[in-house]
Amino acid sequence: MGELILVVEDEQVARKNLEHILKREGYQVISVDSGAKALRLLESKTFDLVITDYKMSKVDGIQVLEKSRACQPHTEVILITGYATVNSAVKALKKGAYHYLAKPYKIDEVRRIVQEALLKRNLQLENIALKDSVGKSRTLSAIIGNSEPMINVKKTIQQIAPTDASVMILGESGTGKELVAQAIHHLSRRSDYQMVAFNCGSFSEELMANEFFGHEKEAFTGAGKTKKGLFETADKGTVFFDEIGDMPQAMQVKVLRVIQEKEFLRVGGTRTIPVDLRFIAATHRDLNHEVEKGHFRQDLFYRLNVVSIQLPPLSSRSGDIPLLAYHFLGKKNQSMGKDIKEIDPHAMDLICRYGWPGNVRELENVIEGAVVMTNGETIFPEALPDYITNMSVETYRADYTDTIPTLEDQEKNYIQWILNKTGWNKTQAAKLMGIDRVSLWRKIKRFHLE
């Protein structure tokens, strides 16, 4: 067996007897004569089981139980006492004790209860390991791609997820930054708590403050009751700032304070609220450039950019396109109740040759549209949008003749082209690009397209 058991008993004879019984069963035993010594051991060593006397001077069995549950929540605790009462038994069980034994106890009874307690612990640990293994597999399998860049992304996720390091996810719009943030959260020790996502480009500064920090009752007109903000909701979990580069500077200062001080005030509040949070941020912008221009705070950038993950554009991992296309086909079949079995080779060739400026999100929307337009078992080119069937990657790039365009130039031209194609139907244009109408409106305003 070899499991390690901590015995806490201030009576020498009782301690030696219990130690003798357990060692004869093949267990490893560490025994101490005081609760204080037990507390120190629980901070430095992991035990499979704790057996402790109930009544001891200074530090009693309940305190040992509480410490064990705090430091080693999957370690079972058995309390033994010569002063058994119903109240003390109920108290011990409520505190999380596995069992409560009254002296004098029978040797066979001790053996049986110890075996059962250790079996329970082992089953719990096996169940946790199984869930963890299945969860990791499912989480990473949601990130589709077998190309070298995506394999490296997955390796990085696995390496950094168990830590509490802040993460900056970089990549063009539609590359799957939130999916990576979710994977990091689900593979972390915070996975039992919430990950709260917030798009920094979708709210004014005033509304952003209310969303982040919440407000006290009557903090402003219409505040009829206290509201928890995202930071409070996500306590012990993860906060994901999408498009962090769009966060107003005044709000950057407030967020930096939360990261540094691990506390905040609700709007209209006077009492600080402590929080334990991990921060993940994402942006399609070059934040180093934004810092140089004075548009983004350098200190906040350093706080968030402890580890960075660069997501490749879909055009640089074209080998993943068929895999993604069939993944989205299966997903849309299920949601729409269809049974489309394949994508015609010519249609797939067009899909693979297209430049995908909207990246994975655009590909998903195109496949969704093709599923809608297909009645049989095969997606043919006719089901694809005309800007894919009529415009190859070379044609798209031919618009740029003598100069190499910046990413912002490409984005501006792409948005202009989509708007022209849709007759400036912003709802349709936003859907084709895989963004919401508010984000499209902001891009139109930023590029002065109206």
pLDDT mean values, one per 10 residues, the chain (450 residues): 86 90 91 92 90 89 90 89 67 80 85 89 74 58 87 94 96 93 93 90 83 84 81 94 93 95 89 94 93 94 96 92 92 92 91 91 94 94 88 43 51 77 81 76 81
Q: What is the DSSP pairing of strand 76-81 with strand 49-53?
A: parallel
Residue 404 is predicted with a pLDDT of 44
226 and 296 assigned to the same domain? yes
Q: Residue 448's CB: how many other CB atoms inside 10 A?
A: 7
Q: How many domains does the chain have?
A: 3
177 and 303 assigned to the same domain? yes
295 and 426 assigned to the same domain? no
223 and 276 assigned to the same domain? yes
Q: What phi and psi, each to the nearest 5 degrees, are found at residue 85?
A: -135, 160
59 and 180 assigned to the same domain? no
Range of the domain at 353: 317-446
Q: Residue 374 falls within a domain, yes or no?
A: yes
Residue 438 is predicted with a pLDDT of 79
157 and 302 assigned to the same domain? yes
Q: Residue 139 falls within a domain, yes or no?
A: no
Helix/strand/coil for 243: coil
Q: Residue 294 falls within a domain, yes or no?
A: yes
Residue 100 is predicted with a pLDDT of 81
Q: Residue 63 falls within a domain, yes or no?
A: yes
CATH of the domain at 231: 3.40.50.300
DSSP structural state of residue 79: E
Residue 416 is predicted with a pLDDT of 80
Q: Residue 133's CB: how many other CB atoms inside 10 A?
A: 10
> With contact defined as beta carbons under 8 Å apart, do 8 and 32 qualify?
yes
> With contact defined as beta carbons under 8 Å apart, do 29 and 23 qualify?
yes
Q: Which two tokens stand for residue 143?
A: 């990130």
What are the residues whose beta carbons fall under 8 Å from the beta carbon of 173, sequence distance 6 or more?
Answer: 284, 358, 359, 361, 411, 434, 435
157 and 293 assigned to the same domain? yes
Q: Residue 386's CB: how many other CB atoms inside 10 A?
A: 9
Residue 443 is predicted with a pLDDT of 81
Helix/strand/coil for 112: helix
66 and 120 assigned to the same domain? yes
322 and 254 assigned to the same domain? no
Residue 428 is predicted with a pLDDT of 82
End-to-end CA distance of the chain: 75
Residue 399 is predicted with a pLDDT of 41
Closest by alpha carbon to 6, among 149, 35, 25?
A: 35
Q: What is the DSSP pairing of strand 278-283 with strand 238-242?
A: parallel
CA distance 115 to 49: 10
Q: Residue 419's CB: how many other CB atoms inside 10 A?
A: 21
Q: Residue 14 falls within a domain, yes or no?
A: yes
Q: Residue 141 falls within a domain, yes or no?
A: no
417 and 332 assigned to the same domain? yes
- Bridge partners for 378 per DSSP: 342
How many residues appear in the chain?
A: 450
**Residue 54 burial by Cβ neighbours in a 10 Å radius (0-12, 13-18, 19+):** buried
367 and 411 assigned to the same domain? yes
> With contact defined as beta carbons under 8 Å apart, do 32 and 7 qualify?
yes
Q: Kindly report the CA angle at 344 between 341 and 350, in degrees rounded to 5?
A: 130
291 and 324 assigned to the same domain? no
